[in-house]
Structure 1
């Protein structure tokens, strides 16, 4: 079952003396988070109204309603921000990373079970999926259409056609 509230980032500090918060994004980018006027704390239980937000380097700087001093802002340090899934429309073929982690990974041709997708690595050019086999070995596959043939979130499955040699010792 998909979570209603997804982790969006972490408040890592303050910026200036007027209560601006520095947020490390845990999603596509800081730019993505500028779209939201409401975010949530405490796993989605506490809504917070965003008065303003802007990108600064790779961080998001934001001002929350009721936070108007560095002292108040500092009380939010290390808190995780969440977004409501219903506030986002993803294009076809795009997924929330949190929905991908935990998928069972199978060979699209042989239906051989490879393991569980345990991590999504952001590399710049394309994401890389870490698959952990039952023997606890980790394998990395590029998250590109040539290798990822299907994702079914409802069934919890990902179908792949891996590069020769990733899951075996072939040359």
Structure 2
């Protein structure tokens, strides 16, 4: 089982066991819903999401069987994980973290490997080697070849 970090419990909310999770996970719609199994903390304790709502910048959840603030207070500060297999990603979907090490191809020329992916206010950006930054948006991504670990980039005139 390969676990993927989806966020961090930053606080409780109210007295009925609701938790505030800060998350920038790209597939929130697949994990933040009733019945999904998540794992929390260093020991990866298993919980089942009982309820979910979005509030301000937080993903708010309750876990089955935990209906009181005293039951969940100890989880503050812990990271939340999900089993990657449970995401049921489609053929054209990939976790951003899995792109690290992919070759970047422009005009049939390998310009280097993805070394980092980060959020830059408006969208994700991929760093190629140490000095090339490319927005990770449909306008620039032509094709993603997961099998051969290659990403084909287009419309880069002016970026490089």
- Which of 126, 147, 154 does residue 154 from structure 1 map onto? 147
Matched residue, 1:130: 126
1:1-12 to structure 2, matched below 5 A, reads 4-12=2-10
Partner Cα distance (1:12, 1:92) in 2 = 33
CA contact 1:33–1:60 (8 Å) conserved in 2: no
Paired positions, count: 159
Matched residue, 1:121: 119
1:5-154 to structure 2, matched below 5 A, reads 5-28=3-26, 32-37=30-35, 38-42=37-41, 45-107=44-106, 109-121=107-119, 123-124=121-122, 127-133=123-129, 136-137=130-131, 139-154=132-147
Consecutive unaligned residues in structure 2, runs of 5 or more: none
Normalised by the length of structure 1, the TM-score is 0.74
Normalised by the length of structure 2, the TM-score is 0.78
Shift in Å, 1:48 = 1.0
Over the residues paired in the alignment, what is the CA RMSD in angstroms? Answer: 2.8
**Structure 1 ranges of 4+ moved more than 6 A:** none
CA contact 2:31–2:87 (8 Å) conserved in 1: no
3-state DSSP class of the match of 1:74? helix
- Residues 4, 13 of structure 1: CA spacing in aligned structure 2 closer, same or farther, 3 A cutoff? same
Shift in Å, 1:30 = 5.5
CA contact 2:126–2:136 (8 Å) conserved in 1: no
CA contact 1:25–1:60 (8 Å) conserved in 2: yes
Partner Cα distance (2:121, 2:142) in 1 = 20
Consecutive unaligned residues in structure 1, runs of 5 or more: none
Partner Cα distance (2:68, 2:60) in 1 = 14
Matched residue, 2:159: 166
Greater mean alpha carbon deviation, residues 29-38 or residues 147-156? 29-38
Q: Deviations over 1:88-124 (max 9, x none)?
A: 23345332222223323232x2423233241142645
